[in-house]
């Protein structure tokens, strides 16, 4: 027995199969799109191909990774339990709903479903920025039970993005309070700045805060108390984040992404 197992991972609709040792560390991966098996340990080629045999089709190229960067090597050595990259938008909400589903005859819809739909919409929009050199991570748990809804890393810097489901209601923003419809104001901007600050501490880099009200009928920002260090965007305006550039070099983007996707990075804040 080789002791190797195959772990599938999805990223933006593309499947990659990692071949891992019993301790979770990768020794190779198979990229279906390029039909290439990338070996990190040439001595285990036979074992890797044996483990991947049920998944290989057609002609496959086998060899070392093509000029791997330090960030890529760090990412590949992550234990699957510590890798946040596979998280789907709203991952924590999905788990909570699966563990504690709402009663089937509940008169009012479960607000977690609306929150999940909003996080999914924003997360999908952020993931589409991958084509222009950005990386998005979702549902990052922080000590104390809170979490970052989304973290966006790219040439224009780092953004902590919080989703706010509002369902055709008016949103009023008067720093630090955010009021949705007739509900009581909540200090969401203060909380969002705190999340961005914690992310900055963990990554030792500036992280800017973004609030995205999803489904808002109108967003009214108080000109006398404008948001401080927080950008308010509608979901259709998310691509505007990709137009920010000139802050990080590609190597810096990859290094920060490798650091941010490691769950252990967030345990010390």
Cross-strand bridge partners of residue 137: 151
Q: Same domain, yes or no, for 246 and 170? A: yes
Q: Same domain, yes or no, for 26 and 80? A: no
Q: Distance between CA atoms of 225 and 59, rounded to whole angstroms?
A: 62
Q: Same domain, yes or no, for 58 and 105? A: no
Q: Distance between CA atoms of 42 and 44, rounded to whole angstroms?
A: 5
Domain residues for the domain of 59 are 4-63
Q: Distance between CA atoms of 24 and 6, rounded to whole angstroms?
A: 10
Among 45, 63, 81, the domain boundary falls at: 63
Find out whether 220 and 170 touch, Cβ atoms under 8 Å: yes
Q: Same domain, yes or no, for 57 and 75? A: no
Q: Same domain, yes or no, for 44 and 88? A: no
Q: Distance between CA atoms of 128 and 132, rounded to whole angstroms?
A: 8
Q: Same domain, yes or no, for 26 and 156? A: no
Confidence at residue 174, expressed as pLDDT on a 0 to 100 scale: 92
Tally the domains of the chain. Answer: 2
Average pLDDT score, the chain: 87
Confidence at residue 136, expressed as pLDDT on a 0 to 100 scale: 97
Helices 91-99 and 111-127: angle between axes, nearest 10 degrees: 150
pLDDT band for 11, please (50, 70, 90 cuts). Answer: low
Q: Same domain, yes or no, for 169 and 135? A: yes
Confidence at residue 115, expressed as pLDDT on a 0 to 100 scale: 94
Q: Same domain, yes or no, for 115 and 204? A: yes
For residue range 212-262, list pLDDT tens digits in order.
Answer: 999 888 899 888 878 988 999 999 999 999 887 777 888 888 889 988 999
- Ramachandran bin of 188, using left for φ above 0, alpha for ψ from -120 to 50, beta for the remaining angles: alpha
Q: Same domain, yes or no, for 78 and 56? A: no
pLDDT band for 69, please (50, 70, 90 cuts). Answer: low
Q: Same domain, yes or no, for 82 and 186? A: yes
Q: How far is CA 202 from CA 160, 171, 196, 205, in A?
A: 13, 31, 10, 8
Among 32, 63, 94, the domain boundary falls at: 63
Q: Same domain, yes or no, for 77 and 124? A: yes
- DSSP string of 138-156, one letter each residue: EEEE-TTS-EEEEEEEETT
Q: Same domain, yes or no, for 96 and 215? A: yes
Among 12, 29, 63, the domain boundary falls at: 63
Q: 3-state class of 1 per DSSP?
A: coil
Mean pLDDT score, 69-89: 78
- DSSP string of 178-198, one letter each residue: EEETTSPPB-HHHHHHHHHHH
pLDDT of residue 142 exceeding 90, the answer is: yes
């Amino acid at each position: 027995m080789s002791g190797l197992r195959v772990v599938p991972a999805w990223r933006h609709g593309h499947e990659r199969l990692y071949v891992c040792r019993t301790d979770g560390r990768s020794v190779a991966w198979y990229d279906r799109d390029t039909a290439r098996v990338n070996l990190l340990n040439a001595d285990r080629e036979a074992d890797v191909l044996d483990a991947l045999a049920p998944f290989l089709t057609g002609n496959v190229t086998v060899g070392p990774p093509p000029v791997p960067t330090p960030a890529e090597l760090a990412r590949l050595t992550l234990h699957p339990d510590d890798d946040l990259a596979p998280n789907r938008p709203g991952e924590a909400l999905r788990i909570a709903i699966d563990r504690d589903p709402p009663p089937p005859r509940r008169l009012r819809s479960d607000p977690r479903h609306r929150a999940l739909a909003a996080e999914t919409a924003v997360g999908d929009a952020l993931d589409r920025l991958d084509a222009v050199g950005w990386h998005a991570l979702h549902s990052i748990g922080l000590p104390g039970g809170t979490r970052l809804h989304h973290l966006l890393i790219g040439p224009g810097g780092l953004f902590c993005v919080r989703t706010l489901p509002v369902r055709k209601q008016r949103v009023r923003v008067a720093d630090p309070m955010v009021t949705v419809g007739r509900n009581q104001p909540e200090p969401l901007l203060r909380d969002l700045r705190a999340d961005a600050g914690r992310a900055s501490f963990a990554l030792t880099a500036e992280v800017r805060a973004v609030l995205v009200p999803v489904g808002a009928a109108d967003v009214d920002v108080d000109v006398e108390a404008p948001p401080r260090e927080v950008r308010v965007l509608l979901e259709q305006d998310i691509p505007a984040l990709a137009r920010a550039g000139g802050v990080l070099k590609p190597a810096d983007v990859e290094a920060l992404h490798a650091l941010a996707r490691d769950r252990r990075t967030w345990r010390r804040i």
